[in-house]
Amino acid sequence: MKNLFLVSTLVLIGTLNSCAQDSAYKNDDFAIEDVRVIYQEDLGITVWEIGVKGTAGRTTPSKAGQLDGAPVLGYVFPTSLKPSDVGFNQTDGIVALALTSHPDFDDTPLWDENSDKNFDNDGIIWHPHWVILHDDQRVPGGLSVKQFKKADKTVILPPTNPGMPMYMDSPGYPVTTKAATIKVVVPTYRINNRTAFSFDGVTAFMKVNTSKNHLPMLGVYEVYSVASGDLSLPYNVKKQ
């Protein structure tokens, strides 16, 4: 795990310093100023927040018109949580809570985020995913969501997973954006009652791949900002 963090850190720093990062989505809406997770014991919840220079959640991806190559923007919390804390089988990788927007598809079949009674048309609404990230040098950002073979019986996913052959869950936690801050509320029982863990904050551009076998299904292509600067997960949960 330490080696994974080291490799990922080096890749992310290199990506941040690269001129290739000059994209249409790189703006102050993804420039992180602060990140925090607050444990509210009386309510049994943790509140996860990322604050940015601009307006959190204002920038969303332009529609590609198909799943292959579909853009995904994310505010991501890499953590020290274990995969089993969020419902996966134990596996190598970084447990991350990603708040994402993607207009070309909907991967939260149980949830109707825009409340129009249509459950498959609201991918652009900011929503949460648990993912397992792992080192992947096939993409410029150096990370991708860990995949598995459908026939692998050792894989365990939470019952709220979207049915893709990746370590991904669609937990349905409420996400809100206001001014410079994006927040998500996570009940503590949904993270194995873990209230002491470390984390970081990252903003990134990801892309879906369904046609190229040499690329991951969901890879990180650009990293816009890292709260710590080095992905060292230096932040700890604060109790309110």
Q: Which pTM was predicted?
A: 0.92
User: What is the rounded average pLDDT of the residues 60-80?
Assistant: 97
Taking the alpha carbons at both ends of the chain, their separation in whole angstroms is 30
Above 80 in pLDDT, residue 166?
yes
The whole-number pLDDT of residue 16 equals 46
Record the tokens describing residue 149, joined without a space: 């073979």
Give percent above pLDDT 70 in the chain: 91
pLDDT, one tens digit per residue, over 105-114 is: 999 999 999 9
Q: Are strands 71-78 and 45-52 parallel, antiparallel or unpaired?
A: unpaired
Strand partners, 78: 96
The whole-number pLDDT of residue 22 equals 53
Above 60 in pLDDT, residue 95?
yes
CB 121 within 8 A of CB 108: no
What's the rounded Cα separation, in Å, for the pair 198 and 178?
25
Domain residues for 196? 2-239
CB 120 within 8 A of CB 102: no
Structural domains of the chain, count: 1
Above 90 in pLDDT, residue 214?
yes
In terms of Cα–Cα distance, which of 72, 49, 61, 45 is closest to 180?
A: 49
Higher pLDDT pick, 17 / 194? 194
Above 90 in pLDDT, residue 229?
yes
CB 200 within 8 A of CB 226: yes
Which residue in this structure is represented by tokens 């206001």? Answer: 178
Higher pLDDT pick, 187 / 9? 187
**Burial (0-12, 13-18, 19+ Cβ within 10 Å), 137:** exposed
Residue 23: band (very low, low, confident or very high) from pLDDT cuts 50, 70, 90: confident
Residues 6+ apart with CB under 8 A from 198: 79, 80, 233, 234, 235, 236
* Arithmetic mean of pLDDT over the chain: 92
pLDDT, one tens digit per residue, over 114-158 is: 999 999 999 999 999 999 999 999 999 999 999 999 999 999 999
**Burial (0-12, 13-18, 19+ Cβ within 10 Å), 155:** middle
In terms of Cα–Cα distance, which of 166, 188, 199, 174 is closest to 88?
A: 166
**From its phi and psi, is residue 192 left (phi > 0), alpha (psi between -120 and 50) or beta?**
left
The whole-number pLDDT of residue 24 equals 82
User: What is the rounded average pLDDT of the residues 19-30?
Assistant: 76
Residue 201: band (very low, low, confident or very high) from pLDDT cuts 50, 70, 90: very high
The whole-number pLDDT of residue 17 equals 43
pLDDT, one tens digit per residue, over 37-66 is: 999 999 999 999 999 999 999 999 999 999
3-class secondary-structure state, position 182: strand
**Burial (0-12, 13-18, 19+ Cβ within 10 Å), 2:** exposed
